[in-house]
Structure 1
């Protein structure tokens, strides 16, 4: 089976992505060691891969054993709900490190393996990567930057398929935190399910070889 590495697969959308791809791909679940990541890996027969976006220098050595990779899914991310005037420089630094610089570092380290597999890089972005969301200043900026990196990668590496996925709000822990910041009650029925976004993403990944899905935009019907 083709191989796929997924970051942030221990819970939420990442775990749903792993479940959606498990029937068609051999999975490498990347992230910091955790019981949650081990549980997903054990359930799906996947391999865990220690990757720490707060230790960028360790990434090339961590992925050196991977000589061929078919799919890289960038899902890990952080969000600090705050308007510009409420935000702090450390929040901006952490957001950019995890949401942008980390994916760049991992992509660069895996480029030879992706070239060998004629691979695909998938960026789980956000609607905020297209239109900035109020109260999510650093997050919106990071997702806009991530979208630009995906576009540059697509332009500069024509041998790869590069896909940006821009879902609307998803029923996850991050969404609960945002609702709390906004002073609203949280009702998961108002948002996309993680399983729905994972299925849409898996469809883009499993598109026929002659198809190159550049961008996917999916919004909740509610």
Structure 2
């Protein structure tokens, strides 16, 4: 990474939209890729390097405050700032009626989708400064039948993001919320196992669209 290269932090970068965004941004950004799955991050790194890009792999759990504090301190000490943060990490609890939501699924959904976001924003905000940009990805399922744990925790995440966006209109960083097109990801397959995946938008195509409008 040269001094002129921009820096993009992607939380949830190992697969799906996060991985596609990492590859789409790699020609112009050094990628700091965060996910729990080391093998998937290494495969992502291979694809990025094959295209002439570079990445720093961070196999970490975003629900661990100490790990995220170490990550952000490391970014500060090495580069001093971030240009872009894309938060794609998500937990998809199984579809189930509200009275049947498993307590473990509820706890994990809130931890990953809501609590981790509330922890990451104050860690990452100083790195973004005035000119950086944070991007969140909406999936409005709150109130839909069988989406109780996922819909509620995702809505909490979006509420935090929208509040931050409103608070920083004049001061920065810029906070952007994007609603991606349906894609044939593992997340969607868990919710819609029988649908025709051929009619869905490829993650690489959707990543290219999102990067073009950032």
TM band (smaller chain): 0.7 to 0.9
TM-score by length of 2: 0.84
Q: Does 1:172 align with 2:181?
A: no
The Cα of 1:97 is off from its aligned counterpart by 1.0
Indicate which of 6, 25, 31 corresponds to 1:27.
31
The Cα of 1:33 is off from its aligned counterpart by 4.6
- 1:132/1:52 Cα in 2 relative to 1: closer, same or farther (>3 Å)? same
Q: Does 1:188 align with 2:197?
A: yes
Indicate which of 77, 81, 91 corresponds to 2:105.
91
- C-alpha distance in 2 between matches for 1:105 and 1:76: 13
- C-alpha distance in 1 between matches for 2:198 and 2:14: 22
Name 1:134's counterpart in structure 2.
145
Name 2:40's counterpart in structure 1.
36
Indicate which of 94, 104, 108 corresponds to 2:122.
108
- 1:98/1:160 Cα in 2 relative to 1: closer, same or farther (>3 Å)? same
Name 1:120's counterpart in structure 2.
133
Name 2:81's counterpart in structure 1.
68
- What residue ranges of structure 1 are gaps of 5+ in the alignment? 206-222
- C-alpha distance in 2 between matches for 1:103 and 1:125: 13
- C-alpha distance in 1 between matches for 2:68 and 2:109: 18
- C-alpha distance in 2 between matches for 1:132 and 1:24: 39
The Cα of 1:168 is off from its aligned counterpart by 4.3
In the TM superposition, structure 1's runs of 4+ consecutive aligned residues that sit over 6 Å from their partners are: none
* Superposition RMSD in Å: 1.8
- What residue ranges of structure 2 are gaps of 5+ in the alignment? 49-53
Q: Secondary structure at the match of 2:179?
A: strand
Q: Secondary structure at the match of 2:9?
A: strand
Q: Does 1:199 align with 2:203?
A: no
The Cα of 1:54 is off from its aligned counterpart by 3.1
The 8 Å contact of residues 30 and 51 in structure 1, kept in 2 or not, is answered as: yes
Q: Secondary structure at the match of 2:129?
A: helix
Name 1:5's counterpart in structure 2.
9
Name 1:17's counterpart in structure 2.
21
The Cα of 1:162 is off from its aligned counterpart by 0.6
- C-alpha distance in 1 between matches for 2:66 and 2:144: 32
The 5-angstrom pairing of residues 142-181 of structure 1 reads 142-157=153-168, 158-180=171-193
- C-alpha distance in 2 between matches for 1:51 and 1:34: 9
- C-alpha distance in 1 between matches for 2:185 and 2:37: 21
